[in-house]
Amino acid sequence: MSRIFLTAVLLLGLSITAIGQEKSKIATTKGATELTKSKESGNYSFTLPKEVTAITVEQNAKSYVMYFRLDFNETTHEALIKMITNDEKSRHVICRFMISSGIEKISVDGKEMIIEDFFTTFLK
């Protein structure tokens, strides 16, 4: 009986851990309206998960200095991206930056979408 109980507790713990890890791979935007304005201005704001460190952000952003400048607030985890050239190709690099930072989904107005769908809907 105790083996069944321990197994159930272990499975529950692993499930909770998996759910928590999934949430840690989601960046959040300020919403669809703001993204429409961002596409015009070339200035984007994302709140990255707490698990994404400033070191990770800085190292990954170095690969894309030809496309955008990034300011990262370590306290709020807000990443401000300012496009150098605001065109579709350059905006696509935002997706590459997110993926290299461990982000798998973007939340827009509470709706989570994979990065490819985010690009097609808001950056293309």
pLDDT tens-place string over residues 38-74: 999 999 999 999 999 999 999 999 999 999 999 999 9
74 exposure class (CB count in 10 Å sphere: 0-12, 13-18, 19+): exposed
Residue 69 host element (H or E): strand 68-73
Domain that holds residue 91: 26-123
Does residue 68 lie within any of the structural domains? yes
Residue 17 near residue 95 (C-beta atoms within 8 A): no
Handedness of CA 5, 11, 14, 15 (dihedral sign): negative
Does residue 14 lie within any of the structural domains? no
Does residue 6 lie within any of the structural domains? no
Does residue 9 lie within any of the structural domains? no
Q: In the prediction, which pLDDT does 3 show?
A: 57
Does residue 55 lie within any of the structural domains? yes
For residue 79, what are the contacts with CB-CB under 8 A and spacing of at least 6?
Answer: 27, 45, 46, 47, 48, 57, 70, 71, 72, 73
pTM: 0.78
Does residue 107 lie within any of the structural domains? yes
What is the tally of structural domains in the chain? 1
Identify the CATH number of the domain in which residue 98 sits.
3.30.1360
DSSP state of 109: T
Q: How many CA atoms lie within 13 A of 29 on its CB side?
A: 28
76-107 pLDDT per residue, tens: 999 999 999 999 999 999 999 999 999 999 99
Does residue 42 lie within any of the structural domains? yes
The C-alpha atoms of residue 13 and residue 78 are separated, in whole angstroms, by 30
Residue 65 host element (H or E): none
Does residue 4 lie within any of the structural domains? no
DSSP state of 123: I
